[in-house]
Amino acid sequence: MQKTKLLFVCLGNICRSPSAENIMNYLIEKQGLRNQFECDSAGTSRYHIGSSPDKRMKIAAKKRGIELKGKARQIEDFDLEYYDFILAMDKSNYFDILALDRQGKYKHKIKLMCDFTTKFPDQEVPDPYYGGESGFDYVIDLLLDACQGLLDFCNK
């Protein structure tokens, strides 16, 4: 069976999108679906290329038993072709990804992460970078909800 390939995208690829990637892998593993999915994450900016996930984000994820792995990279044109779904954390990320799709060939693959929430009312995953600890905890809980919704959507 072909794997469903998912790319999670935010601005820096050190807070929200690596959290989404690792939370998704955590849920996939827990539900015995490892052979069905391939996940990665990327940033729209170059700011943090090569960096590990933000320490504050790692602490928040650890409280929920999730380890954040990976190194930041920037999204490339090729990602639009390769991945089945590209999940933007906020609307600004969404429009930056759309701008890479010059011919409009991949618009159907690009989605907002919050389209898949079932409990949280948010339309965007808030950027926690300049805020306090509670913002990081909130991102993890919101992404646990959205990732489970996305997993159910892909498994329908």
Q: Is residue 147 among the annotated active site residues?
A: no
The catalytic residue among 40, 79, 127, 147 is 127
Which among 10-18, 22-30, 61-69, 105-113 is the span making contact with ligand 4NP, rule CB under 6 A? 10-18
In the complex, least distance from residue 150 CB atom to ligand 4NP, rounded to whole angstroms: 17
Please indicate whether residue 10 is annotated as part of the active site.
yes
* 147 is a site residue for ligand 4NP (CB under 6 A): no
26, 82, 93, 153 from 69: Cα distances, Å: 11, 22, 21, 25
| 70 phi-psi bin (left φ>0, alpha ψ -120 to 50, beta other) | left
Instruction: Name the residue whose CB lies closest to ligand 4NP.
Output: 12
Contacts with 30 (C-beta within 8 Å, 6 or more apart), sequence order: none
Q: What is the largest CA-CA distance in the chain?
A: 43
Which value, in Å, is the radius of gyration of the alpha carbons in the chain?
14
**Residues 112 to 131: which contact ligand 4NP by CB under 6 A?**
127, 129
C-alpha to C-alpha distance for 32 and 43, rounded to whole angstroms: 28
Distance of closest approach, residue 60 Cβ to ligand 4NP, in angstroms: 12
16 is catalytic: yes
Catalytic member of 10, 15, 39, 147? 10
Indicate which residues carry an active-site annotation: 10, 16, 127
Which chain residues interact with ligand 4NP by CB under 6 A? 10-16, 47, 127, 129
